[in-house]
Amino acid sequence: MHHLGGLIEGPASALAPFEGLAAGDVDLARLTRAGLLHGDALSEAGRLALGILGHADASAGFVLAEGDSVREHAVYFAGVMVASLTSEGDQIRLQVPPPAATSLLGDAIGAVDAVAVSFEALFTVPEACVFLAAVDVQRRRILQSVLDDSEPSLGPTDLPALRAWITRTDDSTQWLAPAVGAASLTVIDPEAIEAAAASLAAEGVIERSAGGVAPTAVVSALAHGFLVLQTFVRLRAARVIQGVVHTVDIRIAQSQQGHHLLWEADAQGHVHLATLSAAEVTATTDLLLRNAGAFGG
């Protein structure tokens, strides 16, 4: 949407979804077909819609990725006025008022109301990465056992192996621990992993065994529920408060079985992890898109 910046009146908001190129860079024919232009000027609908985008004081949206398919939707708030942008492939749709979130998520989120295991915790970044590395390792063991027609190992994983797992840099989107570590922008050293493993063991969410980490019941349940990751949702919201942009960034992974795991890193170095049902994912998304300030900032 950067090619629309030259059409708005006045300076653009920090949340405006375009970069302010000159009006000569705009595809006038395309905007006319979309109903945003009438002759050489903005139509009334175009003036309203672009005014909301250009002067937004809050925004919220999601990115839904499934394989090679990516769908993005964002809602912009300017006072009581609301507009939305939806893009998929090379198609972009601007709407006032926005459509319902449930119609946008469609069938991608599924309808599984059960959760793999009821789980919610607030961890430090190293704790979250160690815990999810234990889940990832067990997931891979289970998948390998299916290929080998054998029972999955329940043995411990040593801490250097966990750190190597957490810091892996391959392009796979299947593994939770590297994704959380990358999203938090935190460098995790061996001492932090050792301390995290000790605190997680004290809380009972992992077991220490033979100098490593062994899976607990909750680790095994999450591993079985999230064997193969299929769909990823990223929820983001932003508000301008006294000239400062405050943001919220939530990630959700959906397994082939239809289970959902949410994680959110905060500025204090914590990661919130929780399992959700499909209905809870839809409700969370809908709340964010209706009220960008619902999750603080």
The reply to whether 56 falls in a domain is no
pLDDT at 108: 74
- Give the mean pLDDT of 18-23: 48
pLDDT single digits (tens) 250-270: 999 999 988 999 999 888 889
Strand runs labelled E in the chain:
37-38, 41-42, 58-66, 69-78, 81-88, 91-95, 120-124, 157-158, 207-209, 212-214, 229-241, 244-255, 260-265, 270-276
The range of the structural domain enclosing residue 176 comes to: 120-225
Residue 239: strand pairing partners: 58, 246
As to burial, measured by CB atoms within 10 angstroms (0-12 exposed, 13-18 middle, 19+ buried), residue 130 is: buried
The reply to whether 25 falls in a domain is no
Predicted confidence band of residue 99 (pLDDT cuts 50, 70, 90): confident
pLDDT at 271: 94
pLDDT at 98: 86
pLDDT at 200: 95
The reply to whether 232 falls in a domain is no
Ranges of H-type helices in 42-124:
44-54, 101-105
How far, in Å, CA of 110 to CA of 92, rounded? 24
pLDDT at 20: 42
pLDDT single digits (tens) 183-226: 777 778 888 899 999 999 999 999 988 778 988 999 999 999 99
Q: What is the mean pLDDT of the chain?
A: 83
The reply to whether 179 falls in a domain is yes
pLDDT single digits (tens) 84-95: 888 877 777 888
**Helix (H, G, I), strand (E, B), or coil: what is residue 251?**
strand
The reply to whether 284 falls in a domain is no
pLDDT single digits (tens) 42-83: 777 778 888 898 889 999 999 999 888 888 999 999 988 999
Which is nearest to 235 in space by CA: 260, 268, 270, 255? 260
Total domains, the chain: 1
**Percentage of the chain modeled with pLDDT above 70:** 84
pLDDT at 289: 87
The reply to whether 138 falls in a domain is yes
78-100 in b/e form (b: 16+ CB < 10 A) is beeebbbbbbeeeeeebebebee
pLDDT at 21: 39
The reply to whether 133 falls in a domain is yes
More confident residue, 169 or 128: 128
The reply to whether 211 falls in a domain is yes
